Protein backbone atom coordinates (compact mmCIF):
# COMPACT_ATOMS: atom_id res chain seq x y z
CA UNK A 1 0.00 0.00 0.00
CA UNK A 2 2.74 2.42 0.99
CA UNK A 3 4.66 1.53 -2.14
CA UNK A 4 1.64 2.25 -4.34
CA UNK A 5 1.10 5.64 -2.67
CA UNK A 6 4.78 6.43 -3.02
CA UNK A 7 4.74 5.49 -6.69
CA UNK A 8 1.72 7.72 -7.34
CA UNK A 9 3.36 10.63 -5.52
CA UNK A 10 6.56 10.09 -7.50
CA UNK A 11 4.65 10.10 -10.78
CA UNK A 12 2.86 13.32 -9.79
CA UNK A 13 6.17 15.03 -8.94
CA UNK A 14 7.76 13.81 -12.19
CA UNK A 15 4.74 15.08 -14.15
CA UNK A 16 5.07 18.50 -12.52
CA UNK A 17 8.79 18.65 -13.32
CA UNK A 18 8.26 17.60 -16.94
CA UNK A 19 5.46 20.18 -17.24
CA UNK A 20 7.84 22.84 -15.99
CA UNK A 21 10.56 21.80 -18.41
CA UNK A 22 8.18 21.84 -21.37
CA UNK A 23 7.30 25.45 -20.59
CA UNK A 24 10.90 26.67 -20.42
CA UNK A 25 12.33 29.39 -22.66
CA UNK A 26 14.46 28.33 -25.63
CA UNK A 27 18.21 28.60 -24.99
CA UNK A 28 19.43 32.20 -24.90
CA UNK A 29 15.94 33.68 -25.15
CA UNK A 30 14.84 36.39 -24.35
CA UNK A 31 18.04 38.07 -25.58
CA UNK A 32 19.53 40.47 -23.04
CA UNK A 33 22.05 43.25 -23.45
CA UNK A 34 23.83 42.40 -20.23
CA UNK A 35 25.56 39.19 -21.34
CA UNK A 36 26.79 40.77 -24.56
CA UNK A 37 28.09 43.72 -22.56
CA UNK A 38 29.94 41.48 -20.11
CA UNK A 39 31.46 39.30 -22.85
CA UNK A 40 32.69 42.32 -24.78
CA UNK A 41 33.89 44.54 -21.94
CA UNK A 42 34.90 42.23 -19.08
CA UNK A 43 38.55 41.90 -20.12
CA UNK A 44 38.98 45.61 -20.59
CA UNK A 45 37.13 46.68 -17.45
CA UNK A 46 38.35 44.10 -14.94
CA UNK A 47 41.61 43.01 -16.57
CA UNK A 48 40.70 39.37 -16.02
CA UNK A 49 40.96 36.78 -18.78
CA UNK A 50 38.50 34.52 -16.98
CA UNK A 51 35.18 36.23 -17.56
CA UNK A 52 33.43 33.94 -15.09
CA UNK A 53 35.83 35.07 -12.36
CA UNK A 54 35.24 38.69 -13.30
CA UNK A 55 31.47 38.18 -12.94
CA UNK A 56 31.78 36.30 -9.65
CA UNK A 57 34.25 38.65 -7.96
CA UNK A 58 33.58 41.98 -9.63
CA UNK A 59 30.21 42.47 -11.30
CA UNK A 60 28.41 40.28 -8.76
CA UNK A 61 30.76 40.60 -5.81
CA UNK A 62 27.93 41.03 -3.33
CA UNK A 63 26.63 37.53 -4.15
CA UNK A 64 30.07 36.11 -3.44
CA UNK A 65 30.09 37.94 -0.10
CA UNK A 66 26.84 36.13 0.70
CA UNK A 67 28.36 32.80 -0.29
CA UNK A 68 31.35 33.44 1.96
CA UNK A 69 28.98 34.33 4.79
CA UNK A 70 27.11 31.06 4.31
CA UNK A 71 30.37 29.12 4.55
CA UNK A 72 31.42 31.08 7.63
CA UNK A 73 28.08 30.42 9.34
CA UNK A 74 28.22 26.71 8.50
CA UNK A 75 31.72 26.33 9.93
CA UNK A 76 30.77 28.29 13.05
CA UNK A 77 27.71 26.10 13.56
CA UNK A 78 29.59 22.82 13.13
CA UNK A 79 32.36 23.86 15.50
CA UNK A 80 29.87 25.13 18.08
CA UNK A 81 27.85 21.91 17.95
CA UNK A 82 30.77 19.50 18.04
CA UNK A 83 32.75 21.20 20.79
CA UNK A 84 30.18 21.35 23.57
CA UNK A 85 30.50 17.78 24.83
CA UNK A 86 33.67 17.97 26.88
CA UNK A 87 32.67 21.22 28.51
CA UNK A 88 29.36 19.74 29.65
CA UNK A 89 31.19 16.75 31.15
CA UNK A 90 33.55 19.04 33.01
CA UNK A 91 30.78 21.14 34.48
CA UNK A 92 28.66 18.19 35.64
CA UNK B 1 45.62 4.45 10.69
CA UNK B 2 45.95 2.56 7.43
CA UNK B 3 48.80 0.39 6.19
CA UNK B 4 52.34 1.60 5.58
CA UNK B 5 51.85 1.57 1.79
CA UNK B 6 48.91 3.97 2.01
CA UNK B 7 50.73 6.24 4.42
CA UNK B 8 53.84 6.44 2.22
CA UNK B 9 51.83 7.17 -0.92
CA UNK B 10 49.78 9.82 0.89
CA UNK B 11 52.99 11.39 2.16
CA UNK B 12 54.33 11.74 -1.37
CA UNK B 13 51.03 12.74 -2.95
CA UNK B 14 50.08 15.55 -0.54
CA UNK B 15 52.78 17.85 -1.98
CA UNK B 16 51.36 17.64 -5.48
CA UNK B 17 47.79 18.09 -4.28
CA UNK B 18 48.75 21.19 -2.30
CA UNK B 19 50.66 22.65 -5.25
CA UNK B 20 47.78 21.98 -7.62
CA UNK B 21 45.28 23.55 -5.22
CA UNK B 22 47.39 26.67 -4.78
CA UNK B 23 47.85 26.86 -8.55
CA UNK B 24 44.08 26.76 -9.08
CA UNK B 25 43.62 29.49 -6.46
CA UNK B 26 46.32 31.82 -7.79
CA UNK B 27 45.38 31.41 -11.46
CA UNK B 28 41.68 31.94 -10.78
CA UNK B 29 41.59 35.04 -12.99
CA UNK B 30 43.25 33.28 -15.95
CA UNK B 31 42.08 29.65 -16.02
CA UNK B 32 38.92 27.89 -14.87
CA UNK B 33 38.79 27.64 -11.12
CA UNK B 34 39.22 30.12 -8.34
CA UNK B 35 39.16 30.40 -4.60
CA UNK B 36 36.32 28.01 -3.85
CA UNK B 37 37.49 25.29 -6.24
CA UNK B 38 41.17 25.46 -5.32
CA UNK B 39 40.31 25.48 -1.63
CA UNK B 40 38.24 22.35 -2.13
CA UNK B 41 41.23 20.69 -3.86
CA UNK B 42 43.51 21.50 -0.91
CA UNK B 43 40.92 20.25 1.58
CA UNK B 44 40.64 16.99 -0.38
CA UNK B 45 44.36 16.56 0.35
CA UNK B 46 43.68 17.18 4.04
CA UNK B 47 40.93 14.53 3.93
CA UNK B 48 43.40 12.09 2.34
CA UNK B 49 45.80 12.68 5.24
CA UNK B 50 42.91 12.23 7.65
CA UNK B 51 42.08 8.85 6.12
CA UNK B 52 45.67 7.64 5.82
CA UNK B 53 46.85 8.74 9.25
CA UNK B 54 44.82 8.80 12.42
CA UNK B 55 42.91 11.97 13.15
CA UNK B 56 44.73 12.23 16.49
CA UNK B 57 48.02 12.74 14.68
CA UNK B 58 46.54 15.43 12.48
CA UNK B 59 44.96 17.08 15.52
CA UNK B 60 48.43 18.02 16.79
CA UNK B 61 49.45 19.90 13.64
CA UNK B 62 46.12 21.50 12.71
CA UNK B 63 45.04 23.56 15.69
CA UNK B 64 41.57 25.03 15.84
CA UNK B 65 42.91 28.40 16.90
CA UNK B 66 45.15 28.57 13.82
CA UNK B 67 42.32 27.50 11.51
CA UNK B 68 39.86 30.04 12.90
CA UNK B 69 42.44 32.84 12.64
CA UNK B 70 43.09 31.82 9.03
CA UNK B 71 39.41 31.76 8.16
CA UNK B 72 38.68 35.08 9.81
CA UNK B 73 41.66 36.64 8.02
CA UNK B 74 40.31 35.47 4.68
CA UNK B 75 36.83 36.83 5.40
CA UNK B 76 38.29 40.13 6.64
CA UNK B 77 40.48 40.61 3.54
CA UNK B 78 37.49 39.87 1.33
CA UNK B 79 35.23 42.36 3.09
CA UNK B 80 37.94 45.04 3.21
CA UNK B 81 38.58 44.65 -0.53
CA UNK B 82 34.87 45.01 -1.11
CA UNK B 83 34.66 48.15 0.99
CA UNK B 84 37.86 49.63 -0.49
CA UNK B 85 36.09 50.41 -3.74
CA UNK B 86 33.20 52.17 -2.01
CA UNK B 87 34.36 55.51 -3.47
CA UNK B 88 32.75 54.45 -6.74
CA UNK B 89 30.50 51.53 -5.88
CA UNK B 90 30.57 48.55 -3.52
CA UNK B 91 32.95 45.85 -4.90
CA UNK B 92 34.39 48.23 -7.49
CA UNK B 93 37.57 46.90 -9.07
CA UNK B 94 39.76 49.84 -8.09
CA UNK B 95 43.14 48.20 -8.82
CA UNK B 96 42.75 47.99 -12.62
CA UNK B 97 45.26 50.33 -14.25
CA UNK B 98 47.40 50.75 -11.13
CA UNK B 99 50.77 49.09 -10.53
CA UNK B 100 49.37 46.25 -8.39
CA UNK B 101 47.79 43.53 -10.55
CA UNK B 102 46.84 46.37 -12.88
CA UNK B 103 47.83 45.31 -16.40
CA UNK B 104 44.98 45.12 -18.88
CA UNK B 105 45.03 42.18 -21.31
CA UNK B 106 44.01 42.65 -24.95
CA UNK B 107 40.39 41.79 -25.68
CA UNK B 108 39.95 38.34 -27.15
CA UNK B 109 42.00 35.16 -26.68
CA UNK B 110 45.48 35.79 -25.34
CA UNK B 111 48.13 33.75 -23.50
CA UNK B 112 47.37 35.43 -20.20
CA UNK B 113 49.42 37.38 -17.71
CA UNK B 114 49.44 36.67 -13.98
CA UNK B 115 49.80 40.38 -13.18
CA UNK B 116 46.29 41.32 -14.34
CA UNK B 117 42.85 41.29 -12.83
CA UNK B 118 42.87 44.06 -10.23
CA UNK B 119 41.33 42.87 -6.98
CA UNK B 120 40.22 39.51 -8.44
CA UNK B 121 43.45 37.58 -7.62
CA UNK B 122 43.50 39.04 -4.10
CA UNK B 123 39.85 38.09 -3.57
CA UNK B 124 40.58 34.59 -4.90
CA UNK B 125 43.40 34.30 -2.38
CA UNK B 126 41.16 35.50 0.47
CA UNK B 127 38.34 33.12 -0.46
CA UNK B 128 40.87 30.29 -0.87
CA UNK B 129 42.23 30.86 2.64
CA UNK B 130 38.69 30.91 3.96
CA UNK B 131 37.63 27.69 2.23
CA UNK B 132 40.83 25.83 3.19
CA UNK B 133 40.58 26.77 6.86
CA UNK B 134 36.81 26.42 7.15
CA UNK B 135 36.40 23.04 5.45
CA UNK B 136 39.51 21.63 7.17
CA UNK B 137 38.08 22.64 10.54
CA UNK B 138 34.71 21.06 9.71
CA UNK B 139 36.23 17.78 8.48
CA UNK B 140 38.64 17.56 11.40
CA UNK B 141 35.96 18.36 13.97
CA UNK B 142 33.63 15.72 12.52
CA UNK B 143 36.39 13.07 12.39
CA UNK B 144 37.41 13.78 15.99
CA UNK B 145 33.81 13.85 17.14
CA UNK B 146 33.16 10.41 15.64
CA UNK B 147 35.92 8.84 17.79
CA UNK B 148 34.86 10.73 20.90
CA UNK B 149 37.72 13.23 20.95
CA UNK B 150 37.52 16.99 20.66
CA UNK B 151 39.28 19.45 18.39
CA UNK B 152 42.27 20.99 20.15
CA UNK B 153 42.51 24.71 20.79
Beta bridge partners of A68: none
Say yes or no to pLDDT of A92 above 60: no
State pLDDT tens for residues A54-90: 999 988 889 999 999 999 999 999 988 887 655 555 5
Name the pTM for this structure: 0.83
Q: Which of B85-121 are b and which e, b meaning 16 or more Cβ less than 10 Å from the residue's Cβ? A: beeeeebbbbbbeeeebeebbeeeeeeeeeebbbbbb
Nearest by CB to A83, which of B96, B103, B150? Answer: B150
Q: In this predicted structure, what is the pLDDT of residue A85?
A: 55
* Mean pLDDT for the stretch of residues B30-49: 93
Domain ranges for chain A: 2-91
User: In terms of CA atoms, which chain A residue is nearest residue B140?
Assistant: A79
Q: Is A2 within 8 Å of chain B by CB? A: no
Q: What is the pLDDT of residue B153?
A: 62
In chain B, whose CA is at the least distance from the CA of A83? B150
Q: Report the SS3 class of residue B127.
A: helix
Cβ-contact B146, B101 below 8 angstroms: no
Closest CA to B151 of B77, B67, B42: B67
Q: What is the mean pLDDT of residues B16-38?
A: 93
Q: Is the pLDDT reported for residue B68 higher than 70?
A: yes
Amino acid sequence: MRQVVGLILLLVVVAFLVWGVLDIHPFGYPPSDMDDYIIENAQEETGSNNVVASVVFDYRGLDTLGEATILFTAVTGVLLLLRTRKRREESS
Amino acid sequence: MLSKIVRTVANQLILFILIFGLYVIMHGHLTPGGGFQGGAVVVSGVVMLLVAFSSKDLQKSLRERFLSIMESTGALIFAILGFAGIGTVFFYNFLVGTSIFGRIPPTGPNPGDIWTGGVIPLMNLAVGLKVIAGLSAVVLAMALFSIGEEIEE
